């Protein structure tokens, strides 16, 4: 009598991924901190992506909420279709201040590159500008 393979017996398939030793170590540490096996975490992440796929292109706004009891901030993404995504619940003031500075610097660099000098002006595609010349 032949022994039935576990995958066939339970109608499951095995998936694998190649990671660098460093990435695997980080993922293993992450799983250990959560108290779950690597395979369990992978299964949960895959299932989450399949059950709740998120479109790459969605519209919405970021919302930061101050929590005075914990002296920290929460970050939410509120999609135009009403869904609220809870991004992070424990952001400290220093992190957000540094993030704001980095964003402001990047926006200033972009504005210099596109030669933006007025607050109410926006980037205009080159194709449109060329038609008017």
Looking at the predicted structure, is the pLDDT value of residue 133 above 60? Answer: no
Asked if 76 contacts 63 with a C-beta cutoff of 8 angstroms, the reply is yes
Residue 73 CA to residue 87 CA, distance in Å, equals 11
The pLDDT tens digits for 98-109 are 999 999 999 999
Place of tokens 């964003």: 103
**How many Cβ atoms sit within 10 Å of the Cβ of residue 113?**
9
- At residue 32, the pLDDT reads 96
**Its pTM surpasses 0.75:** no
The pLDDT tens digits for 46-102 are 998 888 776 667 789 999 999 999 999 999 999 898 889 899 999 999 999 999 999
The first and second tokens of residue 52, run together, are: 């709740």
């Amino acid at each position: 009598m032949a022994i039935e393979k576990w995958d066939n017996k339970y109608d499951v398939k095995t998936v694998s991924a190649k990671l660098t030793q460093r990435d695997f170590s980080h993922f293993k540490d992450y799983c250990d901190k959560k108290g779950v096996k690597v395979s369990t975490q992978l299964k949960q992440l895959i299932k989450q992506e399949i059950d709740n796929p998120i479109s790459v292109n969605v519209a919405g706004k970021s919302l930061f909420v101050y929590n005075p009891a914990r002296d920290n901030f929460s970050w939410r993404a509120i999609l135009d279709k009403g869904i609220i995504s809870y991004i992070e619940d424990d952001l400290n003031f220093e992190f957000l201040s540094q993030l704001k500075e980095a964003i402001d610097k990047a926006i200033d660099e972009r504005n210099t590159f596109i030669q933006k000098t007025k607050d109410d002006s926006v980037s205009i595609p080159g194709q449109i500008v060329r038609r008017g010349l």
